[in-house]
Structure formats: C-alpha cells, structure tokens
Amino acid sequence: MDNQIGTAPTHGAGQAFSDAWEVVRSVALDPVGQLAPSYQRLPPERALAAGAILCVASALACTIGAASGVQSVMGGFMSFGGGGRSASVFVQALFACVLFAAVMIGASFGVRRAQSNPAPLAADVFTVGVALLPLGFALLLGGLLGAWQLVAILSLLAFTCLVLVLHTGFTAICSLPSRTSTPAVALMIAVGLWVTQALM
C-alpha cells in the first residue's frame, strides 16, 4: 500500500526527529490501531527515517535500562565511570540491540519480496521501529526503578505488543494475508534472535 499523504522528499535530521516524535505520540496508547494511520501520514522516505530513529531509540532504551538495572543490583561495580570495560560492554549491548532490529527488518523485507509484495523498505523499518518501542520503554522504566519483577511483567506485555504490531504491519500496511503474516512474524523474531546471538 502506498502512502497517501506527501510526495515531495523532505530532508534534514530535524524533520526526521519531528516525524519520529509525532509517531511516538500517535502510537503511545494504541500502537496496533495507530500503526497504519501513522505510516500513511508520511511519504516513504520520511517513514523510513522516522522508523530508523525509533529503532535506534528503542535500542538505546533497552541498553540503558538493562545497564541501570544491573548497576542497581551490583552497585558501583558496574558504574560507567569505573573504566573502559563498562563502556565497552554498553557499546556491545547497544550494537546487539541495533543488530536485532536490523535483522528483523531484513527478514521482513525478505518475506515480502518472496511474496512479490510491492511495499517499500520504509514499511519494514517503520513497523519494526514501532514494534520495539514498548520493549525499550519496559526495560528502561524497570531498569531505572531497579524493579526486576516490574521488568518481567512489562516485558511480557511489550513482547505481546511487538508480535501484534509486526503482524499488523504485514496485514494493514503491506496487505499480506494473515496466513502468511502469522508464520512470518515468528520467523522474523527467531531469525533476529539467532543471528544476533551468533554474531555477538
């Protein structure tokens, strides 16, 4: 499905961050229901840029949340001011999160191409970016509060949301049938986890 609003390319980091923030505001309370309308409000190049920003933001949130949680448990031992090793671990964790998002985007694109689906790459990047937002928020909030039980509950809800958003991206944005979308979502997540683990 082609985007309905906007045809002229708009360049600049400011526009991309503004678009990403508007997407966050739109999907905050209803990521599944607002996914397609939020995507359709942007031309493909802006949807791609906004989705990429959301992927990186989610990766940062996951990494900071996990690091904060570990630091709250282990105290000053894991403080980032304690030397280069902590910073190195942080960078590796951030890279793993970004890699996971990138592999899922690639898997989504591959599934669609196998089905001869004409949607642009922006659809994959945007969908994955929105899908990862709840997980990033869950880990960031739980990590900063140092509440691992809260992290477990929020992560379960976030993972459920991730699955639903990915499925909605296939069906509502890319117009793939549900019988294809359901196994494709499982494949995306499995490949993302496997590749990330294999390369880290």
pTM of the entire predicted model = 0.84
The pLDDT assigned to 73 comes to 42
Contact present, 10 and 43 (Cβ < 8 Å): yes
**Alpha helices of the chain — where are they, by DSSP H?**
13-27, 31-40, 44-74, 84-114, 121-145, 148-168, 178-199
Q: List C-alpha distances in Å: 53 to 63, 132, 145.
A: 15, 11, 25
Helix, strand, coil percent content, the chain, rounded in steps of 5 = 85, 0, 15
d(CA 181, CA 123): 14
Predicted local confidence at residue 11, as pLDDT: 56
Per-residue confidence (pLDDT) for residue 184, from 0 to 100 = 94
Q: Which residues of the chain have pLDDT under 70?
A: 1-11, 69-85
Tell me the residue length of the chain.
200
Instruction: Identify the pLDDT of residue 131.
Output: 97
- DSSP-derived letter for residue 115 is T
